[in-house]
Amino acid sequence: MKRFKSALALAGLLSLNAQAGTWSPTSPAPMSYGADAIMRLRGTGEAMIVGLGFVQRYNPYTDTWRITSPMCAPGMCNNPMLTEFPSGKVLAISRAPGRMGGEVRLSTYLPETDQWAYLTQGFQVYRMDPAITLLPSGRALVTGGYHYPGLPPRATALSSVEEFDPVTETWTLLPGQMLTARSFHRATVLYSGKVLVTGGYTSDYQPIASAELYDPATGTWTAAGTLSHPRGSHQAIRLGSGHVMVLSNSQEGPSEAATAVDIYDPYNQRWYAGPALPFTQPSSATLLTTNEVLVTNNSGQAALYSPSQNAWQLEPSSSPSSYLRPAVLLYTGQVLFMPGNQLRAERYTR
């Protein structure tokens, strides 16, 4: 019986000695700060790193850095969410310090001119910490979030949905609403063009287990099943197969919920359990050109998911970070990380 249990515990985990990738430092960056967000610019292939309002761009072909125009005054646009449109224009949703969560800032960036500009029109419904995703139409879909509708101030999760037109730089409030009001959730575009929304938090800051689908063609929302555990501020990534992997949640510490992996099958509209992650609190999940998924956490732990074997493989550890560790896939096939308060970024090479 003990041998059987041990075999089950190791199911889904490949040989720990068969590490596939390596880590290497980049040349020193000109500014040392934790990265709030990283984005690959499609026009140049550079990585744009934003932190505390400062912006620097990394060229993976020459291993060189350059400081570019700041997004805002230092410290006045925190936790940006970046979305790039087919034209190359970038939309940034951030927050300035202030009461009740701060003030939402909406701005755009043109990489070819290196210029930032604040939008003249804000959300139709004021919201913080929504989910944003790029639709096949070239517009951005913003769902949910929360706001403070009255006094005394109390955070209230939202179910309303808006679209952003990058040409006119205007927001349109859509008539259809999510089935469940949520913030800190994830929205993932499927190959069909539909959007899968997972998890999030209620107005009482309780994690949510439900999922739902948005059809841009009809503007309707339908239920899409339930995750194995309630999740908020989690990771969700579309695999090469079109399935969606969801991992991590609001729980901390080693537990079944903290390492559980849910996978959504859009073709049969069902959820199934993936192999448990070999560590907790993942801070990034990146789809590689091999269709494998690299997952890391702030402790520097890394694991590689093989879809063909439906298994995880522990990878060499990178530098730990006390700060958020966002990641981006470069056109070179490497994954770039910017650990907090370090001059050197790191690249993972498969």
Q: What confidence score (pLDDT) does residue 250 get?
A: 57
- Domain 280-350: assigned CATH number: 2.40.10
Q: What is the spatial distance between Cα 97 and Cα 237, in angstroms, rounded to a whole number?
A: 30
> Domain 121-276 has what CATH class?
mainly beta
Q: What is the spatial distance between Cα 11 and Cα 55, in angstroms, rounded to a whole number?
A: 43
Q: Residue written as tokens 């006045």?
A: 76
Same CATH fold, 280-350 and 121-276? Answer: no
Q: What confidence score (pLDDT) does residue 193 get?
A: 98
Task: Name the residue among 162, 157, 164 with its Cα closest to residue 185.
Answer: 157
Q: What is the spatial distance between Cα 184 and Cα 213, in angstroms, rounded to a whole number?
A: 17
Query: Coil, helix or strand for 151?
Result: coil
Q: What confidence score (pLDDT) does residue 11 get?
A: 47
Task: Name the residue among 194, 230, 229, 228 with its Cα closest to residue 212.
Answer: 194
For 249-299, write each residue's pLDDT tens digit: 655 444 778 899 999 999 999 999 999 999 998 999 999 999 999 999 988
Q: What is the largest CA-CA distance in the chain?
A: 66
- The domain locations on the chain are 31-95, 121-276, 280-350
Alpha helix stretches (DSSP H) within the chain: 2-10, 256-259
Please provide the average confidence, as pLDDT, over all residues in the chain.
90
Q: Tell me: pLDDT of 146 over 90.
A: yes
